[in-house]
Amino acid sequence: MSERWARAALTAYRYAGAVAYPLVGPYVAWRASRGKEDRVRRRERYGVAGRARPEGPVIWIHAASVGETIAVVPLVESILDYGVNIVLTTGTVTSAHVADERLGSRIIHQYVPLDLKPAVSRFLDHWRPELAIIAESEIWPMTILELGARNVPQVLVNGRLSDRSFRSWKKRASVAEALFENLAHVVAQSDVDGERFRVLGARPVTISGNLKVDTNPPPVDERALATLQRQIGGRPTWAAISTHDGEEVVAAEVHATLHRRHPGLLTIVVPRHPDRADALAAQISGMGLKIARRSKGDRITPDTDILLGDTIGEMGLYLRLTEIAFVGRSLTSEGGQNPLEPAMLDTAVLAGRNVQNFREAYQRLLDRGGAKLVRDRDMLAGAVNFLLTNEVARHEMMAAGAATVDEMRGALARTLKSLEPYIQPLVVKARLKGANGR
């Protein structure tokens, strides 16, 4: 590793990503994630493999959390069709669960190693990947530099840079260039993201669109859906999904405002982090509202005000119980969450104004009439009230959202085209190895 690379690695820990990590950033990140990891498999975070390496070429694909994992599933499935081995790393128990549920034994799942040289080196020594594919905005300096030192091609797919992250990198342009020059290719989500990567020194950069558009709708247990639908009956419903701190109370306050206008109203609240459910249940119950918790198997009764969706992997269930969804991390937090899943399930989308991380998706939905942004709690209550009252307007909004998603599809094909020069040699190698082994 050159002196410039080493200096870049040390400095980049202070400025990498959307959060300004100190030099001990990987350790701090690990400390912060405790409770979200599988203790039995903790050694994987130090690069200690939990499985043997398979014969033949290996592609390492990394997706940090649930959203990124869901986004790369179709890409992983397409690459598996070529007959190449895939090691998929994620960072949380929830994303590991999603990987197992949707990909099973077709891939090897490992928890991503901490971005420290001993852990990364141990991981790379064991798996010896011949291509690394990184999803979205996972810029870990030591990992990038170690892969570069081993001449392993690195491709960033579905790449995006938030406003905050871009500003942070621009302040240390030389550090950014020293890292991004190690990327063999960046496949960005949008023109804005693509230009940002170019400014920071990435070459070449192509635009694919958002891989999340090319995913299937979130799955559902049909028996569970039928059970909840029977319990709800003909009651009006709306949902607040992927909510962050403060937004659950806002949803409860909206419910309290609207339930007299809409008798029998049921509000579905799905926190982004279900481990907050106990505190949320106590807080909302303290407002005089009756809660049914999905994790407890509580029955929805006629006097239930709030269904608290405190489970993992059931977004497809909750979205199929309503035609109106407020998407969180947009009112009391910043960045937004993915609006495409509710849109593809024929749901009218509402959100706060802080949706920078999904700017293009929201802009498309807004232009077509599939989404509406709200300023505050009162405006959210007004929007929910309007959609509950006006069936024609609600269904027009639902149809516009679904049509927008259809128009945005195609990112998977464009991403695969960009990856072809890196994957095809491995396909040939795998086939030759297979032929020689027979």
DSSP H/E element including 287: none
Q: Is 68 a catalytic residue?
A: yes
Whether residue 204 is preceded by a cis peptide bond, meaning omega within 30 degrees of 0, is yes
How many Å apart are CA 172 and CA 188, to the nearest integer?
21
Mind giving me the DSSP string for 173-230? HHHHHHHHTT-SEEEESSHHHHHHHHHTT--SEEE---GGGGSPPPP--HHHHHHHHH
Pick the closest to residue 338 from 214, 192, 228, 245 (CA basis). Answer: 214
User: Tokens 């593809």 correspond to what residue?
Assistant: 344
Coil vs helix vs strand at 130: coil
How many Å apart are CA 108 and CA 85, to the nearest integer?
8
Phi, psi for residue 68 in degrees, rounded to 5: -65, -40
Question: Cα–Cα distances in Å, from 40 out to 9, 50, 169, 382?
Answer: 30, 10, 36, 48
Annotated catalytic residue, options 68, 130, 146, 323: 68
Judge whether 95 and 112 are in contact, CB under 8 Å: no
Phi, psi for residue 159 in degrees, rounded to 5: -70, 140
Question: Cα–Cα distances in Å, from 232 out to 239, 318, 322, 353?
Answer: 13, 12, 11, 31
User: What are the beta bridge partners of residue 133?
Assistant: 61, 155
How many Å apart are CA 433 and CA 425, to the nearest integer?
12
Judge whether 346 and 394 are in contact, CB under 8 Å: no
How many Å apart are CA 111 and CA 64, to the nearest integer?
9
Active site residue ranges: 68
